[in-house]
Structure 1
Amino acid sequence: MAEVRRLFRRPGAVLALAVVLGAGLTLLAAFRLMGSDRPPAINGLLLYQSLLPRAAVAIAAGASLALSGALFQRVLRNPIAEPSTLGIASGVQLALGLATVYAPALMATSREWVGLGGGFGAFLLVLALTSRGGFNPVSVVLSGMLVSLTAGALGAALILANGDYMMSLFIWGGGSLIQDSWAPTLTILARLGIAGVASALLLRPLAILALDESSARSLGVGVAAMRFLVLVVAVWLAVGVSVEVGLIGFVGLAAPALARALGARSQKAVLLTSPVLGGLILWVTDGLVQASGSDVPTGAVTALLGGPLLLWLLPRLTRPRPLEPEAPVAAPRMRPGKAALIVGAALVLAAALGLLLGKGPDGWSLALGSHLAEFAAWRLPRIVIAATSGAMLAAAGVLLQRITANPLASPEVLGIATGSGLGLAAVLLTVTAPSRELQLLGAVVGAGVTLLAILAIAVRGHYGPERLLLGGIAVSSLGGSVITVLIATGKPEAFQLLGWFSGSTNAVLPRDAVISAVAACLLLPPLFVFGRWLSILPLGPATGSALGLNAGRASLWLVLFAALLTGAAAVFVGPLSFVGLMAPHLARHAGFRRPREQLAGAVLIGATLLVIADWLARMLTFPYQLPLGLFASLIGGPYLVWLLRRGVGRN
């Protein structure tokens, strides 16, 4: 270990080692290519038009992303800002996907402008969400996660709607560096050269931007204009790479962090060293992918760096402050019992609407008599799954917000639903034709392991609620990257995972509805026994101990139930409904204040939300059906936007 530490104190040795490793892997690929049975002329063509351009584009793309990440981190004063965490890459992919389906002519003539519009649109949305909080790290990453998740879900829905034709776009979006010419390399290098010159000219303003705004203005720097100019350069660089080679995740996070770890302290040193390190990181990573013989896109592999890097950078966030509590809720105008009757009636009405009212070739119609039996066979299972899944996610959200004393905690935001996807993926890849019960077990185990990992990180690092959120995002990033790698393999299970990711319930069976209902009936009633725990835990472990509560044991039990509830729901509706975030807040605003009251109100509201979302998902785009999880996330996403704009969760 001592020798390793000494090595990392010598940046030249590290760079030389990376260069040797990258060159060696490229030579290995070249030897394998030239030793094939193909004619020498074909091998030579592949060497000069595919293999060498691939190495060159890896270096150019990695350098561009690293410089982009360094600029983002400097301007936003956020060590975890980069194109992936800011939602830019997902915005590019969604824009290109929409253009491919609805305006294919644009892809032939204006692909770069389409990607630029998507990337800038996503980034401006993140800036709009976080401007009131001064672009603080927690809000920026939460907003970037929101944009990325929503854009990813929309992209998954596009792929499901267009089959194998769009599956190739998903694989490209994973960041495939396979080349057939030198054109992408030259294009990226041209952008990098222009951005490098611009960065050199902006060195002094960048140094001044590190000061507070009043000091920067006193030195004659127009803070807003200069910040926007640098951000434009950074976004332009990142979008250019995404348009040419797809989404390459977290190189822009890794390279500046590694530069600082190797001793780069001044802004000039970071801006000079980061592109070199970024190019080497992507070159070596792509070489390892080629050496393994895998067809997995290189960008999907680099994304695996994201989770561990975010976890490593959490303690390095400057001046952490505790989350602000949620704004007090005005006194309710009705008693909880009356509110429960109203919400319960809304749930019954929504279920009746979903069962009876529908749209057909001849317009709207009511399913009555013999028609009711025909439609109920496929409508009723969806309604049952929507109601029970919504109830379980809402209950899990109440538990998590009470355990963590964090108004933004939920299965979706903390990545627990993504963990359930990992468990589901493990079952699909290891078992031939697994039963729904086995898939459910895998999802529950995945959710439980993920939640325990997040809480263990929080306890070990003595993090406050804001660090717990970032830890959840880090684990979610890692899990999402693994799922992306699995989907990009193109195996038959990949399409199942893609359907799960978007929350598609089009193929649910009556047996699935029975399983979901049984899970809800087994898991929800015991929660009301924990009312005292839910009252005391938000007060902190010291208060809990004084009141005779073993906070660790109580939290462990509640964590177990939260994992069970999340896994049981996510296996049917996917990871992106946001019901676990919305329902507890709406319950409090409706007058359900005490823990048991909030739990009951959230269960009813969560069930109602997903039943209504299921009906709208079937009706709005008839004869096509939107995935339930995706449609619910399009409702929940704006709600999280509203919470962020109000300052909930702002540090």
Structure 2
Amino acid sequence: MVSETLRRRGWGLLLLAATLLAVVANLGPDIAGLGTDRLFGALDAQDIDAVLMRFSLLPRLAMAPLCGGALGLAGALFQQVLRNPLASPSTLGIEAGAGLAIALAILYQPALLGWGRDAVALGGAAFASGIVFFLAARFGFRPLAVILGGLIVGFYLSALSSTLILLNDFRLSALFIWGSGSLSQQDWRPFLELLPRVGCCAILAALLVRPMTVLQLDEAARGLGLRIVAVRAGALGLAIALTAFTVSAVGIVGFLGLAAPAIARALGARKLRTRMLLAPLVGACLLTLTDQSLQLLTAATGLFLPAGAVTAVLGAPILFLLIRQLPAVPVAAAGQAALDLARRPAIRVFVPVALLLAALSLIAVFAGRDGHGRWVLDFGEELQPLLVWRLPRTLASGIAGALLALAGVILQRLLRNPMASPEVLGVNAGAGFGLLVALICLSAPGHIALTGAATAGAVGALGILLLAVRKAGLSGNRTLLAGVALATFLLALLSVATATGDPRAMHLLTWMAGSTYHADGTSAAIMFGAFVLTLPLLPLLARQIEQLSAGPALAMATGAQVRRIQFAALLLAGVVTAVASLTVGALSFVGLIAPQIVRQAGIQRCLPHMAGAMLTGAALLVAADFLGRTIHFPWQLPAGLLSALIGGPVLALVLMLRPRR
């Protein structure tokens, strides 16, 4: 026990030492060269080094720990009140709401930013949280329901922000950098404005420590006279405000709010008071270490990288290594209780979805716009030259949606958790990383090489995930947290690669957005072949997965080969994700949305769930591809982004229309 405590403290001291070393290495020589007179004395406007140090580097050094601490505290508040280790400003959609509000203000009401940028961000954050909690109320605020609603809202708002940037790149180009977190400073004003806001929130949070501790007693807390609703609302309000203030000041640094409290807990902060102190310290150290390391890299190479993405590159491995120290909290039972519905005949779901898919496919092939932008239906000779373009895109997008939805069903069934999906667990990001390796290492990779590399990356990501949680099993918060950390790390690596400006890596920008621009007959044929080979496996696989529905322990007692079933199912999920991701990228979220739509429609058995989700995913992406090439004619929008814009509201509507539980 003593050695375990010492090891945990050693990790914390190592993080602190690395942070201090980065600060000294970056600023130490410059401060020593300036001397006290130039650094603190009367300022000469011609002394560029002194001006740069006093009005850029030192304010930046002060801003990094302040923002990191604020996000760490916000994450700790969210996780404590919602009783969920996955709750954070990013997984609840709070940061996405604040970012979207600022983008809308820049486009349509820039005067609002003059009245107060913080107020705009706070309004967006409050709006996003309101939608999340409204959806969660349909499920009695169960933990998984809250996170699922947050993921849906966050994905939707992020996709909407990205779409606005694509449509108005000349006015919102700066949001590309701001959206990844930028700590660059020109004076002390932003820090001096943010400091009292964060300080007031921290003081109020300290006053809530004792009530939040009592809150863990549930009904006993009510008997002690605690105003439960007021305490929860106050803590959530503080967390939302901290997030909005930070996003307004430096942009979106999404990983810290999730990682800092988790790392603090893994370092031994079991009590709330300790965690409320340690989580901000961890967040401050992570963001400061990242920013100082970035400045050293920029000075050495001239390469500019966004702080938010690189924070994930440094923080995700730390969280990944410490995941074993976290308590294993089962989440399957809560997820099932919160999200299951009464059974409904599958035919009542399949028929309308299949008819919708057929209608959308016909529209995508025959409808379009002419050279003047008018809507037309093309037949005969007019259609012939367009079929070479439209038919492969429609076929590829439909099959990609079906395969991603299948992967989502497999992962959700195996983990017995409705939040599991290729996007959340890093499988899509693994495929993207394999694609990046192929683009860098091969001179002119073809479809077969890219498919093989993406498959290796997706399966490798699943393998890393299994290694991280092999002792705890697939069910529980560790698997989801490890998956989120892995996805964040890989996507951050892809963002860093694209930020280098390498022409080979720039191909990933189009891929990440989910573009079907390059779909042709060859890629459609590869996807169709994968689809045909997959279909015969589904009945057998569904029966095997059904055996695990009561839990691995009970299935093993009945003679089921649990490990073999899990390996085969995960291998199939990785392969189909890789094949689909080559067409629609990493951010379509069909793997999360489509299985949930079908589940909320009342389909519970595994094989009908797979079939319904595949039909729904195909319909979503066919519709997204058609709208992407027509609504902003003659320009095109990525199908991956539009699938999130279409699927998010559909799932939210299904959730709102279900009976209260």
Give the TM-score, by structure 2 length.
0.83
Q: How does 1:83-94 map to 2 (within 5 A)?
A: 83-94=89-100
Moved more, 559-568 or 137-146: 137-146
Identify if the C-alpha distance between structure 1 residues 388 and 463 changes in structure 2 by more than 3 Å, giving closer, same or farther. closer
- Aligned pairs for 1:240-639 within 5 A: 240-257=245-262, 267-293=272-298, 294-304=303-313, 305-306=315-316, 309=319, 312=322, 315-316=326-327, 322=333, 323-324=335-336, 327=340, 329-332=342-345, 346-360=356-370, 361=372, 363-406=374-417, 409-432=420-443, 434-464=445-475, 468-493=479-504, 495-527=506-538, 530=541, 532-538=543-549, 550-581=561-592, 599=610, 602-638=613-649
What is the Cα deviation at residue 372 of structure 1? 0.9
Q: Structure 1's 289 and 514: CA in aligned 2 closer, same or farther, altered over 3 A?
A: same
Query: 8 Å contact 2:263–2:319 — kept in the other structure?
Result: no
Q: Tell me the residue number matched to 1:128.
A: 134
1:176 aligns to what? 182
Contact 1:330 1:589 in 2 (8 A): no
- Counterpart Cα distance in 1 of 2:12 and 2:341: 56
2:502, 2:464 → 1: CA distance?
Answer: 29
- Output the CA distance in 2 between the equivalents of 1:404 and 1:16: 35
- CA 28–521 in structure 1, closer or farther in 2 if over 3 Å, else same: farther
Shift of 1:568: 0.7
Q: CA deviation at 1:9?
A: 4.5
Contact 2:340–2:599 at 8 Å: present in 1 too? no
Return the offset for 1:443. Answer: 1.9
Do 1:329 and 1:588's aligned partners in 2 also have CA atoms closer than 8 Å? no
For residue 56 of structure 2, the aligned residue among 45, 50, 56 is: 50
The alpha-carbon deviation at position 468 of structure 1 amounts to: 4.0
CA contact (8 A) 1:72 1:234 kept: yes
Indicate whether 1:27 and 2:27 are aligned: yes
Comparing 485-494 with 231-240, which one deviates more in the overlay?
Answer: 485-494
CA RMSD of aligned residues (A): 4.1
| Counterpart selection for 2:239 from 234, 240, 243 | 234
CA-to-aligned-CA distance 1:9-55 (integer Å, 9 cap, x gap): 589977974674354134346269979xxx98222211112111111
C-alpha deviation, 1:186, in angstroms: 0.9
Change (3 A) 1:134 1:10: farther
Cα shift readout 1:352-371 (whole Å, capped 9, x = no counterpart): 22111234446432112221
Contact 1:255 1:278 in 2 (8 A): yes
Given that 2:344 and 2:603 are in contact with CA atoms closer than 8 Å, whether structure 1 keeps it comes out as no
- 1:259 Cα deviation (Å)? 5.1
Give the corresponding residue for 1:217: 222
Distance, in Å, in 1 between the alignment partners of 2:553 and 2:228 is 45
- Structure 2: how far apart are the matches of 1:249 and 1:561? 31
Partner residue, 2:121 = 115
CA apart distance, 1:509? 3.5
Post-superposition CA distance 1:233-280 (Å, at most 9, x none): 222222112111122234344544555566666544544454444333
SS of residue in 2 equivalent to 1:461: coil
Residue 136 of structure 2 is aligned to residue 142 of structure 1: no
Does the Cα contact within 8 Å between 2:398 and 2:617 map onto a contact in 1?
yes
* Residues 153, 501 of structure 1: 8 Å contact kept: no
Secondary structure at the aligned position of 1:358 is classed as: strand
The separation in 2 between residues aligned to 1:644 and 1:284, in whole angstroms, is 42
Q: Percent identity?
A: 40
Name the CA shift for 1:141/1:30 in 2 (closer, same or farther; >3 Å).
farther
Residue 39 of structure 2 corresponds to none
Deviations 1:536-570 (A, max 9, x none): 45455567667765343343233222211111111
Q: TM-score, structure 1 length as denominator?
A: 0.84
How far the C-alpha of 1:196 sits from its partner, in A, is 3.1
- Check whether the contact 1:335–1:591 (CA below 8 A) recurs between aligned residues: no
Q: Distance in 2 between matches of 1:271 and 1:466?
A: 20
Q: Please say which of residues 370-379 and 267-276 is displaced more in the overlay.
A: 267-276
Secondary structure in structure 2 of the residue aligned to 1:324? helix
Q: Rate the CA distance shift 1:317–1:544 in 2: closer, same or farther, 3 A.
A: closer
Deviations along 1:595-645, whole A, 9 cap, x unmatched? 666655554444344323333444445555432122222233245546777
Deviation at 1:578, TM superposition (A): 4.1
DSSP-derived class of the 2:167 partner: helix
Whether the 8 Å contact between 2:584 and 2:640 is mirrored in structure 1 is yes
Name the amino acid aligned to 1:439.
L
Hey, what's the Cα distance between the residues in 2 that align with 1:534 and 1:168? 47
Instruction: Spell out, residue by residue over 1:451-484, the C-alpha distance to the aligned partner (whole angstroms, 9 max, x if none).
Output: 2333444442134266544443333233333333
In 2, Cα distance between equivalents of 1:458 and 1:12:
22
The farther-off stretch of 578-587 and 346-355 is 578-587
CA distances 1:95-114 after superposition (whole Å, capped 9, x unpaired): 33333344445445543332
366-375 vs 597-606, greater mean Cα deviation: 597-606
- Alpha-carbon distance in 2 for matches of 1:467, 1:279: 24
Residue pair 1:95, 1:115 contacting (<8 A) in 2 also: yes
- Preserved CA contact (<8 Å) 1:64 1:192: yes
Shift of 1:532: 4.7
3-state SS, counterpart of residue 316 of structure 1: coil
- Alignment gaps of 5+ in structure 1: none
- CA contact under 8 A between 2:393 and 2:519: conserved in structure 1? yes
3-state secondary structure, aligned to 2:305: coil
Distance 1:264 1:386, change over 3 A: closer
Q: State the distance in 2 between where 1:273 and 1:398 align.
A: 38
* Aligned 8 A contact 2:346 2:603 in 1: no
User: In 1, are the aligned partners of 2:514 and 2:583 still within 8 Å (CA)?
Assistant: yes
CA distance in 2: counterparts of 1:591 and 1:196, whole angstroms: 45
Q: Which is further off, 83-92 or 199-208?
A: 199-208
Amino acid at match of 2:363: L
The 3 A distance-change label for structure 1 pair 601 and 228 is closer
Deviates more, 1:609-618 or 1:441-450: 609-618
